[in-house]
A = this chain, B = another copy of it.
Amino acid sequence: MPDDLRYERGRKQLHQMMGEVGDQALDNIAGISPDMARYIAEFVFGDVHSRPGLDLKTREIAAVVSLVTRGGAEPQLRAHLHGALNVGCTEQEIVELMIEMAVYAGFPAALNGLYAAREIFAERAAKAAR
């Protein structure tokens, strides 16, 4: 597939998963490195996240879990918490994931995941209330 088709597919997939938060993050990245932004559109969203083998909800759950386990990746965690909620996760499911992470990644990682989730939940509630 030519790169421009992968790019277009990726931008659509990014928008479907992460909404305006994702579009803005990508434009932001393009301001530092247009090639990095292009790889994210083409490879991350156009190739990987467009694959049919996993539904989007599972893809976002995996992203959130990986970011909580790694730690120190708050901007990406916040973006993927939005993504997870956009594609059908409930807030309660996200809290459940954080509780499970206490077991696998330790309580400190899980608590930082919970704090990030609380902020995103509040942001979205404030926006919905407007």
**A positions within 8 Å CB-CB of B:** 1-3, 29, 31-33, 35-36, 39-40, 43-44, 47-49, 51, 53-54, 58-59, 61-63, 65-73, 75-76, 92-93, 95-112, 114-115, 117-118
Contacts and interface: CB of A to CB of B under 8 A. Distances in A.
Copies in the complex: 6
Given A1-B3, A40-B107, A72-B71, A61 B63 contact: no
Contact of A33 (B2, B99, B103, B108): B99
A66 B101 contact: yes
A115 B115 CA distance: 22
Nearest to A96: B53
Given A36-B102, A66-B104, 12 more contacts: A2-B2, A35-B99, A36-B114, A39-B102, A44-B103, A44-B107, A48-B102, A59-B100, A66-B66, A75-B112, A103-B107, A105-B106
Q: Indicate the member of A3, A32, A68, A101 with the most B CB atoms within 10 Å.
A: A32
User: Is chain A's interface secondary structure helix, strand, loop, or mixed overall?
Assistant: helix
Contact of A114 (B29, B53, B61, B69): B29
30 contacts: A2-B2, A29-B114, A32-B95, A32-B118, A33-B99, A33-B114, A36-B102, A39-B48, A39-B102, A43-B43, A44-B103, A49-B100, A53-B93, A54-B93, A58-B93, A61-B61, A63-B100, A63-B104, A65-B69, A66-B66, A66-B105, A66-B106, A67-B108, A70-B105, A70-B109, A72-B112, A73-B112, A76-B111, A103-B107, A106-B109
